[in-house]
A and B are shown apart, each in its own frame.
Chain A
Amino acid sequence: MNLHHIMKKEVISADPTMPVYKAIELMDKNRIRHLPIIDENSYLIGIISDRDLRDVKPSIFENNNEKFHNLPVSKVMITDVITAMPDDFVEEAAHTMIENKISCLPVETDVKLEGIISETDLLHTLVRLTGANLPTSRLEVEVPNETGKLAEVSSIISDHQLNIQSALVYQSFETNEKKILVFRIQSLNMRPLLNTLKKKRYEVIWPVDLEMKV
Chain B
Amino acid sequence: MKEEAAFIFSPEQLKYKFHQDHPFNQDRLSITNDLLFKIGALNPSTIIPARMATLDELLLVHDEDYVQAVVGASEGQFRSSYRTTYGIGTEDTPVFPQMHDAAAWLVGGTLEAVDQVFTNGYKHALNLGGGLHHGFRGKASGFCIYNDSSVAIEYIRKKYDARVLYIDTDAHHGDGVQWAFYNDPDVCTLSFHESGRFLFPGTGHVNERGHGEGLGYSFNVPFEAFTEDESWLLAYKAAIREVIAYFKPDVILTQNGADAHYYDPLTHLCGTMKMFQEIPKIAHELAHEYCDGKWIAVGGGGYDIWRVVPRAWSHLWLEMTEQTDKTFQSIPSSWISQWEKEAPVKLPEEWHDSEGIYPDIPRQKEIIEKNERMLLKALKPIFDKQNIYKNS
Residues of A within 8 A of B (CB): 131-138, 160-163, 184, 186-191, 206-208, 210, 212, 214
Contacts and interface: CB of A to CB of B under 8 A. Distances in A.
Contact of B91 (A133, A134, A162, A206): A162
Contact of B202 (A136, A163, A191, A206): A136
B198 A206 contact: yes
Contact of A212 (B142, B199, B358): B358
Given A132-B196, A135-B202, A137-B199, A188 B362 contact: no
B295 interface: no
Contacts of B332: none
B198 A191 contact: no
Given A135-B134, A163-B90, A214-B226, A188 B361 contact: no
Given A132-B196, A208-B225, A212-B361, A188 B202 contact: no
B201 A136 contact: yes
Nearest to B201: A135
A137 B92 CA distance: 12
The B interface, classified by DSSP as helix, strand, loop or mixed, is loop
Contact of A133 (B200, B203, B362): B203
Interface string B16-29: 00000011000000
B160 to A, nearest CB: 30
A186 B359 CA distance: 31
Contacts of B142: 135, 188
B44 interface: no
Contacts of A210: 265, 268
Contact of B226 (A136, A138, A191, A212): A212
Nearest to A137: B200
Given A135-B141, A212-B361, A188 B201 contact: yes
A214 B363 contact: yes
Given A132-B202, A188-B200, A191-B266, A214 B92 contact: no
Contacts of A131: 202
Interface in B181-224: 196-203
In this complex, the member of A132, A135, A162, A163 whose beta carbon has the largest number of chain B beta carbons within 10 angstroms is: A135
B202 A134 contact: yes
Contacts of B22: 189
A187 B265 contact: no
Interface of B: 22-23, 90-92, 134, 141-143, 172, 175, 196-203, 225-226, 265-266, 268, 358-359, 361-363
The A interface, classified by DSSP as helix, strand, loop or mixed, is loop
B90 A135 contact: no
A63 to B, nearest CB: 36
Contacts of B202: 131-138, 184
Given A187-B92, A188-B172, A189-B92, 18 more contacts: A132-B202, A132-B203, A135-B134, A135-B200, A135-B201, A135-B202, A136-B200, A137-B199, A160-B91, A162-B91, A187-B90, A191-B23, A212-B226, A212-B358, A212-B359, A212-B361, A214-B226, A214-B362
B361 A186 contact: no
Contact of B134 (A160, A188, A206): A188
Nearest to A211: B359
A136 B196 CA distance: 9
Given A132-B202, A188-B92, A188-B142, A138 B266 contact: no
B23 to A, nearest CB: 5
Given A189-B23, A191-B265, A207-B268, A138 B91 contact: no
Contacts of A212: 226, 358-359, 361
Nearest to B144: A188
Nearest to B367: A214
Nearest to A193: B91
A135 B363 contact: no
A57 to B, nearest CB: 32
A128 B361 CA distance: 33
24 contacts: A133-B202, A135-B141, A135-B175, A135-B200, A135-B201, A137-B199, A137-B201, A160-B91, A161-B91, A188-B172, A188-B201, A189-B23, A189-B143, A189-B266, A190-B266, A191-B23, A206-B198, A208-B225, A210-B265, A210-B268, A212-B359, A212-B361, A214-B362, A214-B363
Given A132-B196, A135-B203, A214-B363, A189 B268 contact: no
Closest 5 CB pairs of A and B: A135-B201, A188-B142, A137-B200, A188-B200, A136-B202
Contacts of A136: 200-202
A188 B202 CA distance: 10
Nearest to A161: B91
A160 B90 CA distance: 10
A204 B324 CA distance: 43
B128 to A, nearest CB: 19
A206 B199 CA distance: 10
A138 B198 contact: yes
